[in-house]
Structure 1
Amino acid sequence: MRRSDGIAFAVLAALSGASPLHAERPVLAPVPAIDASSAQKVETAIFAGGCFWGVEGVFSHVKGVRSAVSGFAGGPQGQKVDYERVSQGGTGFAEAVRVTYDPKQVSYGTLLRVFFSVIADPTTLNRQGPDRGTQYRSALFPLNTQQDRAAKAYLGHLNKAGLWRDPIVTRTEAFTGFQAAGAYHQNFLTRNPRHPYIQRWDMPKLAAFKAMFPKLYQDRPAA
């Protein structure tokens, strides 16, 4: 389902009084027991959590994040794609966000906690909000052994935490590369705060992040 289709679907559902869309809700995820330490000045992490507008929008407001870039990950290595191709499904790619951050200010484990608390519902298979298809799956793409260890341990932790009624379906996936989306999709939430999709699905996530993690919130988003 394309973003425009999701908006139309939500409007029709509201007019008819139906509620076919999965209601996303913030959940305060636990502090990770295992984190990925780093001696580097800058680290990178890749997250897929449905529409990349909201994923990027929230991460860009996390203190310590240098940049958040919308794009695609998870498909065959070397295959070139764009938004239109990925939106049609079947490419193997998921909408994803590349987060560059200062590990002295924010850790990979903390980013995981924010991701599962307010960005992505880890119990909906190939779906987030109104968007359906493998291109909207939630997935983690560890870039090194420490991230891999931390991500798998945290997913196990979440499975035992009992915070969600349904089982966790988010998985770690091998990283085969990241391709940035076009300029239209970058900083979309910041540039289009009144867009219907942003208002309905993403502004609540940003508000929840600010309320739940006030010490992590930075008012000015990263570039």
Structure 2
Amino acid sequence: MALKIDPWTFPDPQTTAKTGDGLQKIVLGGGCFWCTEAVYRQLDGVLDVRPGYAGGTAATADYKTVCTGATDHVEVIEVSYDAGRIDLGQILKIFFSIAHDPTQKDRQGNDVGRQYRSAIFYADDDQRQVAEAYIRQIDGAALFEDKVQTEVVPLVEFFEAEEYHHDFAARNPMQGYIRAVSTPKVEKLKAVHGKLLKGRLAS
């Protein structure tokens, strides 16, 4: 990730969500959903994380078809969180600074294709405003060497991924891709944001 500042000093969003406490959901695309799911499952206040697909139609919402890169789908996660314990700003801060590289277009590292593009699928205008303002803030401060490529688009429908993708990293910790891509992100999260973790136990 071409981050120009220390991750410990990555700023919070200046624009905050207007929604109050209680259950909130947001859908995020940041490369392979195995990795983004693994990151968000660590956070206190995150109640559930479901991998899936968004941006395309029901007819193409399956792993084999999405992996062709010929659909409009993105591999995404649906993050359900208690806004009284973790707010949208912290969800997005992790998204931009830890979970993926938002400056890469239609790829994440060696994973290449539209299905790996960076995207925020917002549920309401409040989420849209916070996301767009944060991107302007990040680009304005030149926190990365390149401009943020993240799409901010309305969520039409979330399609849950096949069962074997759920909690994949936790169930397959020795798998090569997980060790090379997912585990370093989780370890970075623990090092930088120990206070946000379930149980507050950083390693």
Q: Give the TM-score, by structure 2 length.
A: 0.92
The counterpart of 1:92, out of the listed 53, 72, 78, is: 72
Q: Any unmatched runs of 5+ in structure 1?
A: 1-22
Matched AA of 2:82: D
Change (3 A) 1:215 1:34: same
Are the aligned partners of 1:129 and 1:201 in contact in 2 as well (CA < 8 Å)? Answer: no
Provide the rounded CA distance (Å) in 1 between the counterparts of 2:76 and 2:18. 23
Larger % of strand: which? 2
1:51, CA displacement in angstroms? 0.2
Are the aligned partners of 2:2 and 2:146 in contact in 1 as well (CA < 8 Å)? Answer: no
Aligned to 1:184: 164
Matched AA of 1:47: L
1:171-217 Cα deviation digits (max 9, x unpaired): 20121110011111000111111110000001000000011111001
Aligned to 1:127: 107
Matches within 5 A, 1:1-223: 27-28=7-8, 29-76=10-57, 78-218=58-198
Are the aligned partners of 1:37 and 1:107 in contact in 2 as well (CA < 8 Å)? Answer: no
Aligned to 1:18: none
Matched AA of 1:99: V
Q: Any unmatched runs of 5+ in structure 2?
A: none
Matched AA of 2:80: T
Tell me the secondary structure at the aligned position of residue 215 of structure 1. helix
Are the aligned partners of 1:74 and 1:174 in contact in 2 as well (CA < 8 Å)? Answer: no
1:46-78 Cα deviation digits (max 9, x unpaired): 1000000010000011110000000001114x5
1:27, CA displacement in angstroms? 3.6
Tell me the secondary structure at the aligned position of residue 125 of structure 1. coil
Identity of aligned residues (%): 35
Provide the rounded CA distance (Å) in 2 between the counterparts of 1:208 and 1:183. 27
Provide the rounded CA distance (Å) in 1 between the counterparts of 2:84 and 2:180. 34
Matched AA of 1:166: D
Provide the rounded CA distance (Å) in 2 between the counterparts of 1:192 and 1:35. 36
Are the aligned partners of 1:27 and 1:163 in contact in 2 as well (CA < 8 Å)? Answer: no
Are the aligned partners of 2:60 and 2:66 in contact in 1 as well (CA < 8 Å)? Answer: no
Equivalent residue pairs, number: 197
Are the aligned partners of 2:52 and 2:78 in contact in 1 as well (CA < 8 Å)? Answer: yes
Provide the rounded CA distance (Å) in 2 between the counterparts of 1:63 and 1:117. 17
Change (3 A) 1:134 1:219: farther
Across the aligned residues of Structure 1 and Structure 2, the Cα RMSD in angstroms comes to 1.7
Rg larger for = 1
Change (3 A) 1:88 1:145: same
Q: Give the TM-score, by structure 1 length.
A: 0.84
Tell me the secondary structure at the aligned position of residue 66 of structure 1. strand
